A and B are shown apart, each in its own frame.
Chain A
Amino acid sequence: MVSPAAATIEPIAPLRPPTPPPSNPSRPLHTLPPPFTSSNLQLLAQGAEALVYKTTFLTPNTPCVVKYRPPKPYRHPTLDRRLTKARILAEARVLVRAGREGVSVPRVLGADWEAGWLVLGWVEGGSVRAVLDGWTERVKNRRKAYEASTGHAEEKEMLDLMSRIGSCIGHLHSIGIAHGDLTTSNIMLKSPSADLNSTTNGQAAVPSSTSSGSAIPSLAGQITLIDFGLASHMVPHSADEEGAVDLYVLERAFSATHPAAEPLFAEVLKAYGQSWKGAKGVLKRLEDVRLRGRKRSMLG
């Protein structure tokens, strides 16, 4: 089987001095294909996949978001076209379907999968991440000032907000869609005023209550989910798993914000549990996902 005499030991050449490849400081900038001009583009985010800009679409006072997936120079052009097309279409389909079923998501205004762009309606408002950051900051300050009086009203509003988040996620899952990247940055609180000139689906926004003092921003507004780049239609046999992973990702986003934000998440789960008939299975699965951590042990 093993014949040691037949082969010789391979000597491996000694260490040579390190030669790091030169880095290229002149980074190529992407230009958006027409009909977008570079004049009123405002870069919102640069992910691994897409560049996200704010601009206007069709009329100068229709604000919109352009999600542009530039061609990847490392990818074979055929493969690149195939993936870009599949991903733009998948994202658009999920958004259209979610919108039709009454989940508040950005509207799809247009897409060109050959050119690599998707145009979405602008969502006016702030992210839940910003709300949580502001809230934890105020909690800290209140603790310092030993002042609990102003806290109660806000506390109640926060719990109400969490409950609306839980119901919204439940609604999304109930129509068979997993978000895939459910962080607090991807959950928005749409400003009630922004609904005036748009005809989005869903219930009318709750009027803002200003009773709890001017320093505290209003927590009214519709929960709107954004960034469906990793979203998918759930496969029946793994729906519990996909739903649980969504919740787990969100839970980690909460605990990463501030330890004080963790109890709030319980309220999200409570509302989620009452939101749809499959919720029980998902919540049960969530316990497994937590135990497993992010990853299962590697086998190869």
Chain B
Amino acid sequence: MIAIGLEGSANKIAVGVISHPHPSKPPIVLANLRHTYNSPPGEGFQPKETALHHRAWVVRLIKQAVKQAGVKIEDIDCVCYTKGPGMFAPLQSTALAARTIALLWKKPLVGVNHCVGHIEMGRAITGANNPVVLYVSGGNTQVIAYSANRYRIFGETLDIAIGNCIDRFARVLMIPNDPFPGYNVEQLAKHGKHLVDIPYTVKGMDASFTGILAAAELLAKGIDEKLPPEKRLKTESGELVTKEDLCFSLQETVFAILVEITERAMAHVGATQVLVVGGVGSNVRLQQMMGLMARDRGGSVFATDERFCIDNGIMIAHAGLLEWGTGVTTPLEDSGCTQRFRTDEVYVGWRDD
């Protein structure tokens, strides 16, 4: 079974071709391409520009992916695309491209939940069979556990997503968006030494990050080099607080929140494995902290690097092909997209544990 997957829910347009040779064998990646739209420093990506970017690149990516995969069009079983959740205009451009090739090639369509794509890809690549999943990206923050054919949400953000929080924090400090703000924050954090107080909000199994943004504005003002030294923000030992210290403090605080809510879910369901997926999941410090927590509980953490953590076409093709294997397709008239698509709305027919 072979599927082509189109992902475009945020600022990346990605196309992947995957083959499932046999249920007992691991899937084979035939092609995995993407192109990222980067906005200038101090700005986020806007729906309109992002959609234009996706439209400009999608045809080229599809052609190149099919060529690289070395498959004939007639060998492809289905066309998978991200149905949601995500930004509407980019989703729409991607869905349009998917519909077009499905009609052109006379293939069935499969609309895929983006979060389920991340989870299934993470499971396939790490071999974690039934982990608690922490899904952390620019648009999502969820702690998920599988139960009775659904990926159920145990905890989540009450306001903004963790990636969004990091991105906006970076924007306030004028940290560049290329390759992505979180990566640059991570690099700067490696040189930070002092922990600055940043709001820490956990409510049961849920988290909140908006208070951090309000604090970021104040902190950014406090480290402005134009201020006279006596007015600048200082540590307890009297040293000037740097941009690096702020990045370090941000990471230590928000990741501690994520690890804490994940640990609660693990204690609740009695799991020892944890899988981290989504763009923020590629952060090495988060993986390390999660590993320390899991070790304390006698378990282990599974994480992938940015090739599969960050949005890609393969995860959509993979999850779509699993769903197609259970006989599910998306009729043309229902092949729209949706900004809100809960992880637990998807019936996970391909798992029977």
Contacts and interface: CB of A to CB of B under 8 A. Distances in A.
B120 to A, nearest CB: 13
B195 A78 contact: yes
A298 B157 CA distance: 8
A74 B251 CA distance: 12
Interface of A: 1-2, 4, 7, 9-15, 17-25, 27-28, 46-49, 72-76, 78-79, 82-83, 180-181, 230, 295, 297-300
Interface string B51-88: 01100110011001000100000000000000001000
Tell me the dominant secondary structure on chain A's binding face: loop
Contact of A12 (B32, B256, B300): B32
A49 B256 CA distance: 13
Interface string B259-299: 11001101110001000000000000000111111011111
Contacts of B314: 12, 15
Contacts of A181: 204
Given A7-B35, A74-B256, A74-B293, A15 B29 contact: yes
Contacts of A79: 195, 200, 252-253, 256
B204 A4 contact: no
Given A47-B267, A48-B260, A295-B156, A27 B296 contact: yes
A237 to B, nearest CB: 16
B300 A18 contact: no
Contact of B157 (A7, A48, A230, A300): A300
Given A9-B35, A300-B161, A76 B125 contact: no
Interface stretch (B136-144, B238-246, B327-335): B136-144
Contacts of A12: 32-34, 307-308, 312, 314
A116 to B, nearest CB: 15
B149 interface: no
A73 B300 CA distance: 15
B234 to A, nearest CB: 16
Contacts of B142: 298
Given A2-B53, A297-B342, A18 B26 contact: yes
Interface in B192-236: 195, 197, 200, 203-204
Nearest to B285: A74
Contacts of A4: 56-57, 60
26 contacts: A4-B56, A9-B35, A9-B57, A9-B61, A10-B36, A11-B32, A12-B32, A13-B307, A14-B29, A14-B32, A18-B124, A20-B128, A23-B299, A25-B298, A48-B260, A73-B295, A74-B259, A74-B289, A76-B256, A82-B197, A82-B200, A180-B204, A295-B156, A298-B140, A300-B157, A300-B160
Contacts, number: 141
Interface residues of B, number: 72
Contact of B340 (A14, A180, A298): A298
A192 B281 CA distance: 53
Contacts of A295: 153, 156
A21 B34 contact: no
Contacts of B169: none
Interface string B12-45: 0000000000000011110011111100000000
A14, A22, A83, A298 pick with most chain B CB within 10 angstroms:
A298
B94 interface: no
B143 to A, nearest CB: 11
A113 to B, nearest CB: 16
B301 interface: yes
B16 to A, nearest CB: 8
4 closest Cβ contacts across the A-B interface? Answer: A300-B161, A74-B289, A18-B127, A74-B292
Contacts of A28: 295-296
A298 B290 contact: no
B56 A2 contact: yes
B33 A9 contact: yes
A10 B34 contact: yes
A58 B342 CA distance: 52
B100 interface: no
Contact of A11 (B33, B128, B197, B297): B33
A182 to B, nearest CB: 11
A82 B198 CA distance: 11
B298 A24 contact: yes
B159 to A, nearest CB: 8
A28 to B, nearest CB: 7
Contacts of B125: 15, 18
B177 interface: no
Nearest to A249: B204
A24 B295 contact: yes
Given A10-B33, A12-B312, A300-B161, 20 more contacts: A1-B49, A9-B33, A9-B34, A9-B35, A11-B68, A12-B307, A12-B308, A18-B126, A21-B291, A21-B302, A22-B300, A23-B298, A74-B289, A74-B293, A75-B256, A83-B200, A181-B204, A297-B340, A298-B140, A298-B340
